[in-house]
Amino acid sequence: MPKKTGTEYREKNRVRLKRYYERQTASGKRRISALLSGDIYNLIMNEKNKTGASISDIVEAAVIAKLQVRKPKSENRTKKLPPTSKNIDVGPYKTTIDFPISTQMDLFNQDNPDLIPDFTNQIMGTHERDKILVKVAEAMPGRHNSKARLNLLNQKGVPVNTRSSQYGGKWDRKKFTDNLRLAQKRLKAN
């Protein structure tokens, strides 16, 4: 019996996959391709290992659960809605995918600038300023909050430079993003 070449194996695989996709299409399924974050991929793999279900079944169940939650309730309907992905055991991974994006702004109320204390005319160390920059960035994420971040830092007297000879100046977008990147790096190193 002659040895099979790689080309023959690849051709047999193509034929086998074609038959498989034809059977799946005949049963009403559609093929998609998607890129997922590492956290979501790990959630799916944990669920697959735990339950033995296919990735297709896990994604389908999650999508159905999420979309059924969004359907408007009729007034006479008293059934409990199906569980959402918040009930899935995520193991060591923690994601914010289950929470709506609008809740990020709940950390900072525009009318309540008490996110940070007033530092006007006070000497501040680099470590303290780094913590404040990270806290403000987490409470007010995204480009749409850049003016609010800058106004808050300028109103509360947070210095752009912590050296006494260079104390002063106003925050702008470039100064904030540059200092935030360095602050995160310094805090991570400690």
Q: Where do the structural domains in the chain lie, given as residue ranges?
A: 34-99, 101-189
Tokens representing residue 129 in the block: 């300023």
Residues 44, 58 contacting (CB under 8 angstroms): yes
Tell me the pLDDT band of 111, cut-offs 50, 70 and 90: very low
pLDDT at 73: 54
Q: What share of the chain is helix, strand, coil (3-state, %, to 5)?
A: 55, 0, 45
For the chain, give the longest Cα–Cα distance.
Answer: 89
Residue 190 CA to residue 183 CA, distance in Å, equals 11
Residue 136 corresponds to which tokens in the numbers above? 């403000």
CB 169 within 8 A of CB 160: yes
Residue 12's pLDDT band, with cuts at 50, 70 and 90, is very high
pLDDT for 8 beyond 70 = yes
Question: What does the pLDDT read at residue 150?
Answer: 86
Pick 88 or 143 by higher pLDDT: 143
Is there a contact between 189 and 136 (Cβ–Cβ < 8 Å)?
Answer: no
Copy the structure tokens of residue 46: 């944990």
As a whole number, the mean pLDDT across the chain is: 75
pLDDT of residue 15: 95
- pTM of the predicted structure, to 2 decimals: 0.40
- CB proximity list for 140: less than 8 A, separation 6 or greater: 105, 107, 108, 148, 149, 152
**pLDDT above 50 for 138:** yes
Whether 54 shows a pLDDT value over 90: the answer reads: no
The three-state secondary structure class of 36 is coil
Collect all residues with Cβ–Cβ distance below 8 Å to 11 and sequence separation of at least 6. Answer: none
